[in-house]
Amino acid sequence: MPPACCRPTLRTTTRDKSALIVRSRGGGGLWHSPGRMKILSRALFLLFILIGVLVAVSNTQTVQLALWPLPHIIVMPVYLLVVAMLMLGVLAGLSMGWWAGRHHRRRAREAGGEAARLDREVARLRAAQAASQPAAPSGPAPRDQRALERQSALVAPELGTRAARGPFS
């Protein structure tokens, strides 16, 4: 049974009492915590390494591997044959995954080209818009100008009275 922080709890919504929402306490559980997942993956890696070492130590007998169409016979330890077959399986799985993802890679490449084309078009349109607009006034924008006038109206009387009294009074 999972610890209390990872067990789902059932709660009803305020609108519909018949609908139930499943939420986990503690913010995500085991699979959503990066620290816990890193520990789990390292533990599994160490377990596989340990199993591999145990297989290699306990299977040192030699085996003859005959490649049928060729007249050669290869003599090797059993563990080396097992490791070679596992590596061949991993490479086959990786190549099948790479082959299956070719459509997604092609779509991503096309979308990247389209995004670059749209970026160039936006830059061209901004340059055309900047060239067609008259130069902006050198002062602040009208809204900022009004804000500056209000602030100066509030601050100016204070500066005038302080100057009449002196800087340290």
Domain ranges of the chain: 1-32
169 residues of the chain, pLDDT tens digit each: 555 555 555 454 445 444 444 444 455 555 567 788 899 999 999 999 999 889 888 888 999 989 888 888 999 999 899 889 999 999 999 999 999 999 999 999 999 999 999 999 999 999 999 888 876 656 656 777 788 787 777 776 555 455 555 556 5
C-alpha distances out from residue 154 to 24, 150, 151, 160, Å: 56, 6, 5, 11
Residues 6+ apart with CB under 8 A from 55: 79, 82
Q: Which residues of 73-92 are buried (b: 16+ CB within 10 A; e: fewer)?
A: eeeeeebbeeeeeeeeeeee
